[in-house]
A and B are shown apart, each in its own frame.
Chain A
Amino acid sequence: MLSLTIGLIVFIIFHQRKVIRYQLTLQKMEEAQQNILLNASIRYQEEERQRLAADLHDDAGPLLATARLYLNENLVTLERATQLQHIKAAKSIIDDAIHLIRNISHSLMPPTLKNFGLESAVNDLLHKIGGAGTISTSCRFHDYHNRIKTDTEQIVFRIIQELINNILKHSNSTFIHVTQNTNTDKFFIRIHHDGNGLTQPDFDTLTKSSGGLGLKNISSRLKVLFGKILFEKDLSQTYYKITIELPKEEENILMEKVAM
């Protein structure tokens, strides 16, 4: 009986050590994955800053320099007609510069998102893309009566923006359709397109590889929101579907219950 008891205690000790080692291994793997995502986010931010700097330097800079050139000429030229011409030219160039800076600012933080919400911002984005005429876009928000938190809206908008950019860059699709709906405790956004899409195994592989910076960024943003993403080909095999699933905010659940 004594040896049985000692055997039991020893077994318990070794079993628990094994379980703890396994848990620590899982923790280390999760840590490594978080570090990869963090590094990817940092690289993405740096690339965006570089792009912004390039836009300002290459576009806005020369415009303003040209405007200054015209105004400088005015200091030298005494003929009124020439002066008026130079002022008009400078005004036109300054208008272009203002327009460019406004576009850069809107791409950084669209005012529609802040003032009118996610639905309007996504509609606006798709409208601009569809305006070029090369791709057909549409958007339908079925259950967006109560806006989600501003921070969450921003992150979700960035995710949608990134996904749509990827579709435009890589998939050669002819349509993009965005829908939104909810159930009791989840918030869904679905993006449908008919181009060359990703499936979930492709997404998982790219997220773990050294490339796929944008996808890693999407993954990181979703982790912050405790959300999930699913890439799949529709059962009819005619289009690809990306589903973003987020937990509904408690305030919104309460407001819906009160409304009912």
Chain B
Amino acid sequence: MQLLKITSSLSTLLLIIFYIIFSKRNKDKKFWVIFLYCLCSLILDILIHLSKFQPYKFFLYSFFTLIEYTSFSYFLLLTYKEKSYKWLLILCTILFYMVMLYSIVHEPNGEFDNLTSSIAGLLVIIFCILFFYEQLQDTKTNFIYSSKSFWIVSGCLIYTSTTLFLFVSVGLFKLSNNQEESVWMLNNFINIIKNILFGIAFYKLPPTLVDSLSDKSKDSLTGSAKAFNQYL
């Protein structure tokens, strides 16, 4: 359990180092957001372990839920091309912030902010699926996994979909210490998977530098059309 916790924190640290090494490939603003999220995640891990911050666990988790949701949703906002999706995201974000504020004000003594975490998880899952739907509708001929955004969104989706029911169960059921430990163990494991997927995104070259399958056929089509016009 401890090993998994340390590995999870180390994976976040490695991810930050990875981003710094490959910073030239990740100049886009949306990857900065993910980098800042990873930084906050590492800081939270450190703070939670320090005993003097133990009484403030609820506020730390709530704050981190806010950071996590804001980072993922801002990343998706920058990635979406459809204006209607952007507006939907902004609207849902405003509603989420209102719920969050209510939760903090009315339940300050809770151990874990399961309500806001669950809502945040559900919203991120919906927005991630919307992203994939938008990608499928797009008629460009690059493979979906050649884009860096795909890996980030896959990481977000896998992380939030796995932790959604974990956070719901922590809040709804009275779990024993062993059960709670298993929940956090799973959370740490999924965190490592998420960091691996983020790492792949940071490592990948931007899609314009990768050979698109259709480039060669597009060139020959253009060449044929030009020769054709000349002969006419």
Interface positions of A (Cβ within 8 A of B): 1-2, 4-6, 8-9, 12-13, 15-17, 19-20, 23-24, 27-28, 30-31, 34-35, 37-38, 41-42, 45, 155, 220-221, 224
Contacts and interface: CB of A to CB of B under 8 A. Distances in A.
A210 to B, nearest CB: 19
Interface of B: 129, 132, 135-136, 139, 141, 143-145, 154, 157-158, 161-162, 164-165, 190, 213-214, 217-218, 220-221, 224-225, 227-229, 231-232
Nearest to B136: A16
B135 A34 contact: no
Nearest to A41: B231
Contacts of B213: 20, 24
A220 B220 contact: no
A24 B141 contact: yes
18 contacts: A1-B162, A5-B157, A8-B129, A9-B157, A9-B158, A12-B132, A12-B135, A16-B143, A19-B136, A28-B217, A31-B224, A38-B227, A38-B228, A41-B232, A42-B231, A220-B228, A220-B232, A221-B232
A59 B30 CA distance: 76
B227 A17 contact: no
Given A1-B165, A34-B228, A13 B144 contact: yes
A98 B232 CA distance: 28
A155 B231 CA distance: 13
A9 B197 CA distance: 13
A1 B164 contact: yes
A9 B221 contact: no
A39 to B, nearest CB: 10
B144 to A, nearest CB: 5
Contact of A6 (B158, B218, B220, B225): B158
Contacts of A224: 228-229, 232
A23 B141 contact: yes
Contacts of B161: 1-2, 4-5
A185 to B, nearest CB: 24
Contacts of A13: 143-145
A34 B144 contact: no
A19 B143 CA distance: 10
